[in-house]
Structure 1
Amino acid sequence: MRELVLKAENISKYYRLGLIGSSSLKQDLQNLFVKSRDGLTVEDPQHIWALKDVDFELHAGEVIGIVGRNGSGKSTLLKILSRIARPTTGSVRWKGKISSLLEIGTGFHAELTGRENIFLNGQILGLSNAEVKTRFDEIVAFSGIERFLDTPVKRYSSGMYVRLAFSVAAHLRSDILIIDEVLAVGDIEFQLKCIAKMKEISRLDGKAILFVSHDMQTIRNLCTTGIYLEKGRIKLIGDPPKAIAGYLNLDTQLSKHTYSSPHEAPGNSYIKIKRAELENSTIIHFEFWYTAEGNENLSIGIMLYNDLGQCVFDLASAPTRMENGLIKGACTLPENFLNEGQYVLSIAFIGDQSKLLFDFADCLNFNVQDNGKNLRWYGKRVGIVRPEFPIQLLNIDRDGAI
């Protein structure tokens, strides 16, 4: 059995919205904790649970991918595990050294050079200068910023900073590596290089990794365990594909929304959804109540994502002047266009080509199955789409005539 290196037990984090300290100590303490009847801290408009009762374990050689929408508590959890923030309740126990790569600028001193920051991070991890020197050349080579090594990092671009920061975190002797979405700042080539390095240090060196990303394909390919966070709570922990399916709301089919009046419909002062429906996985129907402030043009955006979070297409209607009231629309997808798999659809309403009026995100999801026309084709066809473009074959005789 693999060695347990980190254990989070009932982690919760409670925030007061706004500033603390602008009033008396008594008022701050009264505002910080709002008591419910059972004595537990509860939310009110001025307070929020960023995390609630988060409980999991991390073992040596394990790579845990954390997925969830913005505001689900992913970054807060990583800050607590990195000891940047303290939990309101619960505890974190770990074994060994922890390296974190969370936000641009975290962990480096802006006035120091890249070279000096490498040694500074080594000292923070408890390594001697001699130990850092044995890894120094490898760190610099991986980062690819040799020319700027003696330049203060405050003059680095965000991409250069991430290159050096990841190289330091991955090559120094940490037992646990914690990485947020910050890797997305780097170029594609370096991202792939980082993913390959994380696979190497987890499988060969036995390092444990916690990884947050919105790239579902990376989560699926890199991670051994997936955690799906929603509103500060763990909704699902298990195989990465299951966590991804939960995050993308693919565990159940959702092919229709209907609302009888604007009062109960999702939306805002501009848009209220009356109906959104997918018919036979090909026809998208939608109706909505529209209230414009002025004479702005209206566009409809339809975005489709597969179960890896990859955008299949992003359609937009031509900007059109519409009268206030109930509007009906539809979009038809070509038959047999989508490959077999699960999909999530979002509808966005845009004013004057730049103002987002309302985003009906992840409103419909559906499954596409093989149409049976390729019975002799072995397995699922590759690619996101499976178009049926005509392919012509002609017999040509030896003289070149048809």
Structure 2
Amino acid sequence: MKDVILKAENISKQYRLGVVGTGTLKHDINRWWHRIRGKEDPYLKIGETNDRSVKGESDYVWALQDINFEVERGEVLGIIGKNGAGKSTLLKILSKVTAPTTGTIKSRGRIASLLEVGTGFNGELTGRENVYLNGTILGMTKKEITAKLDEIIEFSGCERYIDTPVKRYSSGMTVRLAFAVAAFLEPEILVIDEVLAVGDAEFQKKAIGKMQDISKGEGRTVLFVSHNMAAVQNLCTRGILLENGTIKASGNIMDVTNEYLNSHIVEKIELHKVPKRKGNGLLKFLHANVESLDPSGSLLETFKDIKITIYFSVSQEMDIKQSRIDLGINNYMGDRIAWLSSNVVQDDFDLNSGKITFIIKQIPLAPGDYNFNIYSEINNEVADWLEGVIPFTIIEKDYYSTGKLIPKNQGNLLLEYNVK
């Protein structure tokens, strides 16, 4: 028999854009008139898919629509998706911060939520007083909170400031204390939004270890939202992928995260549409592809070979004596990491083919977002030059097979090494 501790049935959430509440007295009267006649809310029939990047025709939008799932006791469920997919809205409904428009949530036991930095904290109260306040909200007695207080303070690393008002805490300190409260006051269900990203690398590692202890050692349930795929894969047993307010995939965490990552792969990058370019136009870049050469998958990974193919057109009315095409690899901040050039590895290449291919062996880039600049030169003059136009992502993964995450912002390269 399944030991289901949380169940979502036909959960939908509708918002009206641009206003607070229902908007107008006319709408409220219309709703009331339908309700006393036993009819459905007329505005539930109106609404569009929640795609934040597209202009809509309706003032109503479905942030979530027909969400159904079950969570068993002791399970760690990862909820992933792009920004605006509905992840935070779903967690707020599960935490009873907001009510669903339609559908029901059934749960057994206390739910502790860590949705945003400082949620549930009173800035005028000290850290110690907020621990007691949050514990009381969770239904714990003062005696139970006191028994856990020393562990909470030690885990948070905020002992020196524990009797200082929380309004004077940094965001990192606030989330440390908030996580410690949520984790140590023993809720049956722990709901965590993307707040761990605020903490430093040491705290993230510590928090993930604690969540593993909560689920595996103590048999409690965790719902975890994160954009850190390595953390999701290491921590979660099952996953849900949200897209535009609906469930796109559900199941084994590796299958769900791979589907999410694959959705980010751009098959063909249209370069001919880029308006901002330099050069005399004797050569024009048309489009490009970035591919993995790993037979086991299409995702770009550290220490695997990748291929960049660039297609171009060339003016036929010229005498070509010298030509070259360069690639500059930049990180997400625009800093140059590496430079590749056709005339470094060979004297010349055939411009008549209309394409050039660069193969990078065992690319050592750390997980993250990058892009290419592309530059062409014919007869010592710039022909076409585009900056930051070929984006690509190296996925997060347990590259050293140790179960440990690689801290972000510690450099752009990963090196194969050992310690003796």
TM-score (norm 2): 0.66
The one-letter amino acid of 2:249's match is L
Instruction: State how far apart, in whole Å, the 1-side matches of 2:256 and 2:330 are.
Output: 22
Aligned: 1:55 with 2:68 = yes
SS in 1 for 2:74: coil
Partner Cα distance (1:278, 1:3) in 2: 45
Q: Does 1:283 align with 2:288?
A: no
| Structure 1 unaligned regions, length at least 5 | 289-298, 306-310, 319-327, 351-356, 367-382, 389-402
The match for 2:51 is none
SS at match of 1:282: strand
The question of 1:149 aligning with 2:162 is answered yes
Q: Which amino acid aligns with 1:218?
A: A
Contact 1:270 1:358 in 2 (8 A): no
Alignment pair present for 1:41 and 2:53: no
1:148-167 aligned within 5 A: 148-167=161-180
Asked whether the 8 Å contact 2:192–2:223 carries over to 1, the reply is yes
Matched, 1:25 2:25: yes
Offset of 1:276 from its aligned partner?
3.0
Distance 2:373 2:358 in 1: 18
**Residue in 1 that maps onto 2:358:** 332
Judging changes above 3 Å, is the alpha-carbon distance between structure 1 residues 270 and 172 closer, same or farther for their aligned structure 2 residues? same
Q: What residue in structure 1 maps to residue 5 of structure 2?
A: 5
Contact residue 337 and residue 385 of structure 1 kept, 8 A = no
Structure 2 counterparts to residues 245-256 of structure 1, below 5 A: 245-249=258-262, 255-256=267-268
Equivalent residues of 1:254, 1:365 under 8 A apart: no
CA contact (8 A) 2:329 2:373 kept: no
> What is the aligned length?
325
Give the drift of 1:254: 6.2
| Identity in percent | 46
Q: Note the alpha carbon deviations across 1:75-99, whole angstroms, 9 max, x for none.
A: 1111111111111111111010000
The letter for the 2-side match of 1:332 is: F
Match of 2:135 in 1: 122
Give the distance between the partners of 1:135 and 1:330, measured in 2 at CA.
Answer: 63
Match of residue 350 from structure 2: none
C-alpha displacement of 1:241 = 1.0
Once the two structures are superposed, residues 171-229 of structure 1 have per-residue CA deviations (whole angstroms, 9 ceiling, x without a partner) of 00200000011111111111111111110011111110000111111111110111111
| Partner Cα distance (2:276, 2:27) in 1 | 39
- Equivalent position amino acid for 2:46 in 1: T
Greater CA deviation, 20-29 or 99-108? 20-29
For residues 255-312 of structure 1, what are the alpha-carbon distances to aligned partners after superposition, in whole Å with 9 as ceiling and x for unaligned?
Answer: 44669x96xxxx8x879x9633247742232679xxxxxxxxxx9986799xxxxx9x
Residue aligning to 1:15: 15
Compute the RMSD of aligned alpha carbons. 4.3
The TM-score with structure 1 as length reference comes to 0.68
Q: Counterpart amino acid of 1:282?
A: K
Q: Does 1:82 align with 2:95?
A: yes
Show CA shifts across 1:370-391 (max 9, x none).
xxxxxxxxxxxxx999999xxx
